[in-house]
Amino acid sequence: MVNVFSHSDSNLFSLQSDVKKEIQLLKKELNAVILAHYYQESEIQDLADFVGDSLDLSRRAVSTNANVIVFAGVHFMAETAKILNPLKQVLLPDLEAGCSLADSCPAEQFKAFRQLHPDHIAITYINCSAEVKALSDIICTSSNAERIINQIPEDHPILFSPDKNLGAYLEKKTKREMLLWNGSCIVHETFSERKIIGLQIEHPESKLIAHPECEEPILRRADFVGSTSALLKYAQYSPAKKFIVATEAGILHQMQRACPDKIFIPAPPDENCACNECPHMKRNTVEKLYSCMKNRQPEIVLDSLLMERALVPIQRMLAMS
Ligand code: 13P
Ligand code: SF4
């Protein structure tokens, strides 16, 4: 048989499988659970105990009886897990794994925005800092935002932050005007409408599925719009065999696993770049996952009063979804 690995390739291969074995051992030793978002690299998804969207991951963080939560995702997600579990240790493989949406909404500016509109209820997307959560009335994710908005009395004005694309999409779905914060996601604003149209012409039988953080021209063309979990479910249950996927490319791993006989085409970005990969999510690697479990850091540490304040709107979200 021909050996397809060079000597150094096979060394690297066994090194990686050693790291994976060590992670499994550390998981037992720490009584840890590994939670991963769909946008993580596929090897991390395969190592995780649970892979899901922001809402699923928050729910898992509530229900776990592990002592340590290893969060393979971005900072605001790990912060949410910590707020829900103040007594547990929450580890994040790379503390610099941020989010452009969360960064677009600094707490001081958000506070001023709220003060300008004191009669508005603040519904805030989970992609924000703990400080912004603490200043909000209700948190939402892309899975439950519509349901939450529909529970707010018609005459009650709403501030929706920080994603203007998701906000505009929800305005249409709920037929409610809202005051929108001017934030957006670098990944979901990268898709090229022109190239997507080209793909649709090339693959007329395909379905375009998109995350609501995408811009309006993409959402208008989409056959289905939903959170990462909803996109995955749609791909599984749709009779269609081919999908153009307008969200971060990491989700394709679970789509392909769930539907090996279907074809998933990542929606192309404007430039010739890998901009449909979230640079923040991709800061986490298997090696960093191992090292954070081995050293029990980087750890999410938050002020206890801040956690208490941020917990209130998160609990409202869980109760309303
Ligand atoms: P989901 O809630 O759909 O997982 O979205 C999270 C996110 O960061 C999208 O960019
Ligand atoms: Fe934030 Fe966008 Fe990355 Fe999601 S894909 S974590 S919204 S930067």
Q: Which residue puts its alpha carbon closest to atom 8 of ligand 1?
A: 127
Which domains does the chain show, CATH number per domain?
7-98+282-302 (3.40.50.10800), 101-186+306-320 (3.40.50.10800), 193-277 (3.40.50.10800)
pTM summary value: 0.94
Query: Would you say the CB of residue 186 lies under 6 angstroms from ligand 2?
Result: yes
Q: Whose CA is nearest to atom 2 of ligand 2?
A: 185
Ligand 2 binding pocket includes 248 (Cβ within 6 Å): yes
Average pLDDT by stretches of 10, the chain with 321 residues: 50 77 97 98 97 94 95 98 96 98 98 98 98 98 98 97 98 98 96 96 98 98 97 98 98 98 95 88 97 98 98 97 92
Which ligand places an atom closest to the C-alpha of 278?
A: 2
Model pLDDT, residue 275 = 86
Q: Which of helix, strand or coil describes residue 51? A: strand
Ligand 2 centroid to Cα of residue 9, in Å, is 33
How far is residue 321's CA from residue 307's CA, in Å, rounded to a whole number? 21
CA 278 to ligand 2 centroid distance, Å: 6
100 lines ligand 2 (CB under 6 A): yes
**What is the per-residue pLDDT for 3?**
44
Q: How far is the CA of 207 from the centre of ligand 2 (A)?
A: 23
Asked if 320 and 144 count as a contact pair (C-beta separation under 8 A), the reply is yes
CB-count exposure of residue 30 (10 Å: 0-12, 13-18, 19+): middle
Cβ atoms 132, 110 nearer than 8 A:
yes
Distance 247 CA to ligand 1 centre (A): 9
The residue whose CA has the least distance to atom 2 of ligand 1 is 54
- From the list 275, 267, 208, 218, the residue with the least C-alpha distance to 238 is 208
List, for residues 46-93, the tens digit of each pLDDT value: 999 999 999 999 999 999 999 999 999 999 999 999 999 999 999 999
Q: Is 184 helix (H, G, I), strand (E, B) or coil?
A: coil
For ligand 2, whether the C-beta of 187 sits within 6 Å is yes
144 CA to centre of ligand 1 in angstroms? 12
Ligand 2 mutation target, pool 275, 281, 283, most atoms within 8 A of CB: 281
Give the number of C-alpha atoms closer than 13 A to the C-alpha of residue 92, restricted to the C-beta side. Answer: 23
281 lines ligand 2 (CB under 6 A): yes
The ligand placed nearest to the CA atom of residue 73 is 2
The per-residue pLDDT for 274 is 80
Does the Cβ of 54 fall within 6 Å of ligand 1?
A: yes
Q: Which residue's C-alpha comes closest to atom 6 of ligand 2?
A: 99
The predicted structure's pLDDT at residue 9? 60
- pLDDT score recorded for residue 145: 98
Q: Is 227 in the pocket of ligand 1 (CB under 6 A)?
A: yes
